[in-house]
Amino acid sequence: MTVLVTGGAGFIGTNLVLTWLSDGFEKLVTLDKLTYAGNRRNLDGLSSEHHELVVGDIGDRELVACLFSQYRPRAIVNLAAESHVDRSIDGPGDFIETNVVGTFNLLEQTRRYFDSLGPQEAENFRFLHVSTDEVYGSLGPLEPAFTETTPYCPNSPYSASKAASDHLVRAYGHTYGLPTLTTNCSNNYGPYQFPEKLIPLMVLNGLAEKPLPVYGDGQQVRDWLFVTDHVRALKQVLENGEVGQTYNLGGEAEKSNLEVVSLVCTLLDELAPTGRPHANLIEHVRDRPGHDRRYAVNPGKARRTIGFAPSIIFEEGLKATVQWYLENRAWVASVQSGEYRNWIERQYGTLGSADKGRASR
Ligand code: NAD
Ligand code: TYD
């Protein structure tokens, strides 16, 4: 038995492959395009008996058809996506291409494969689509957390492209009877996260004693879930989720960005002291256009129905994350390539130099 994981060389995918295999899961085949966010080294050292990496695009119908006939997976976990909001604002095209058109092509090939299965295989087959809480839009300070029935109201090109893919997945379940499951999770953090996202960016900038760019007033709120709690929940959804259902996943750990960055600073003061408080490096910079103010997830349905129960509290998970980045300097150096430097330069300009650049204006 095999499970096909798309985007398995990215942040959540890597943690999923490593965690599921260490928990004794069956063979996994990763399909990953290895964009700037994917890293084949993350999956080095896994034996081909347990894992294979296929480099390619979820939108490549021929390749996907070949993978289906070669491996005959009993399930697909679809993590492949363009995932960074700021990049989606900078250039939305790739988000439409992968998240919308790519998911559509993957669904088309999956439908053909599903239709070819015998009754028993078809009964057991699942398509698990991994999505985000950002599809629900932005909450006011006192509004209740998102549930599975909250209307979609995506605000960024990223969340709009994810919402589109969620709708396609739903339609393929409803129209063609494809056995789909969808999860909408809050912000993940942990090892292997590409350092363009808030937490690893702050850890690495702090270590290099560079400015810590907080957008706007820093009072935007996110709910945080440690990545291994997310990937274990995905396994529970795959095994015990009800076909056609969606599940909200979150850590019930709402924090403002300023709180998160201040905690990172405190941890860096403890784990990598320089004699000066890292909090001195915090700089408020120009806000993200259309910045969602607050996300919060109600994971009650997943708790009641599949036994979802995160095991790592935020402060503990954040400390483990900072420690991981301290202990994995070679990984950090390998992802801080020319492409990464170009992005940082484009997004943050000359922040920290005499002219504070476009971000601070
Ligand atoms: P990531 O950007 O770290 O990884 C995405 C992976 O997909 C990369 O390895 C990339 O190479 C691969 N990929 C991109 N386009 C592809 C294509 N066309 N074909 C095949 N592979 C392709 O993202 P992540 O943080 O690991 O997120 C994984 C999924 O989980 C995404 O769908 C994202 O929307 C969702 N999600 C992420 C979070 C979070 O906080 N990171 C929260 C909720 C949901
Ligand atoms: P991010 O990690 O990009 O995730 P998302 O936008 O999907 O929630 O950002 C998390 C929060 O941190 C978001 O409110 C934007 C903010 N942020 C900053 O203040 N500064 C930064 O340099 C980055 C990357 C994010």
Q: Is residue 354 pLDDT above 60, yes or no?
A: no
Q: Binning pLDDT at 50, 70 and 90, where does residue 120 land?
A: very high
Q: Is 187 in the pocket of ligand 2 (CB under 6 A)?
A: yes
CB atoms within 10 A of CB 18: 21
What is the DSSP secondary structure assignment for residue 92, as one 8-state letter? Answer: T
Q: Is residue 203 part of a domain?
A: no
Share above pLDDT 70 across residues of the chain, in percent, rounded to a whole number = 97
Which residue segment(s) compose the domain that 104 sits in? 2-192+225-255+295-316
CATH (domain of 33): 3.40.50.720
Per-residue pLDDT tens for 190-213?
999 999 999 999 999 999 999 999
Q: Is 221 in the pocket of ligand 2 (CB under 6 A)?
A: no
Per-residue pLDDT tens for 269-327?
999 999 999 999 999 999 999 999 999 999 999 999 999 999 999 999 999 999 999 99
Element (H, E) at 86: helix 85-90
Q: Is 347 in the pocket of ligand 2 (CB under 6 A)?
A: no
Q: Is 343 in the pocket of ligand 2 (CB under 6 A)?
A: no
Per-residue pLDDT tens for 253-269?
999 999 999 999 999 99
Q: Is residue 347 part of a domain?
A: no
The predicted model gives 80-85 an average pLDDT of 98
Q: Within the chain, how many helices (H) and strands (E) appear?
A: 14, 12
Catalytic residue among 158, 189, 295, 348: 158
Distance 86 CA to ligand 2 centre (A): 8
Distance 78 CA to ligand 1 centre (A): 9
Q: What is the predicted pLDDT for the residue at 353?
A: 47
Q: What is the predicted pLDDT for the residue at 356?
A: 41
Q: Is residue 89 pLDDT above 50, yes or no?
A: yes
Q: Is residue 106 part of a domain?
A: yes
The predicted model gives 99-108 an average pLDDT of 98
Domains: count for the chain: 1
Distance 297 CA to ligand 2 centre (A): 17
Q: Is residue 358 part of a domain?
A: no
Residues with CB under 6 Å of ligand 1 are 6-7, 9-13, 31-35, 37-38, 57-59, 79-83, 98, 102, 130-132, 162, 185, 187-188, 194
Q: Is residue 236 part of a domain?
A: yes
**Full-model pTM:** 0.97
Distance 211 CA to ligand 2 centre (A): 15
The predicted model gives 159-180 an average pLDDT of 98
Per-residue pLDDT tens for 2-58?
999 999 999 999 999 999 999 998 999 999 999 999 999 999 999 999 999 999 999
Element (H, E) at 234: helix 227-240
Distance 82 CA to ligand 1 centre (A): 6
Q: What is the predicted pLDDT for the residue at 357?
A: 38
Atom index in ligand 1 nearest the CA of residue 13 equals 26
Active site residue 134: yes
Instruction: For residue 77, give the amino acid letter.
Output: V
Cβ within 8 Å of residue 237, ≥6 positions away = 128, 181, 183, 247, 302, 306
Catalytic residue among 52, 57, 82, 134: 134
Q: Is 197 in the pocket of ligand 2 (CB under 6 A)?
A: yes
The predicted model gives 111-133 an average pLDDT of 98
- Euclidean distance between CA atoms 147 and 197, whole angstroms: 25
Tell me the pLDDT of the chain averaged across its residues: 96
Q: Is residue 82 pLDDT above 90, yes or no?
A: yes
Q: Is residue 270 part of a domain?
A: no
Q: Is residue 134 pLDDT above 90, yes or no?
A: yes
Q: What is the predicted pLDDT for the residue at 352?
A: 55
Per-residue pLDDT tens for 231-244?
999 999 999 999 99
Q: Is residue 351 part of a domain?
A: no
Q: Is residue 322 part of a domain?
A: no
- Euclidean distance between CA atoms 181 and 148, whole angstroms: 12
Ranges of beta strands (E only) in the chain are 2-6, 27-32, 51-55, 75-78, 126-132, 180-185, 187-189, 212-215, 221-226, 246-249, 254-256, 282-285
Q: Is residue 351 pLDDT above 90, yes or no?
A: no
Q: Binning pLDDT at 50, 70 and 90, where does residue 339 land?
A: confident
Of all protein residues, the one whose alpha carbon is nearest to atom 25 of ligand 2 is: 198
Atom index in ligand 1 nearest the CA of residue 134 equals 43
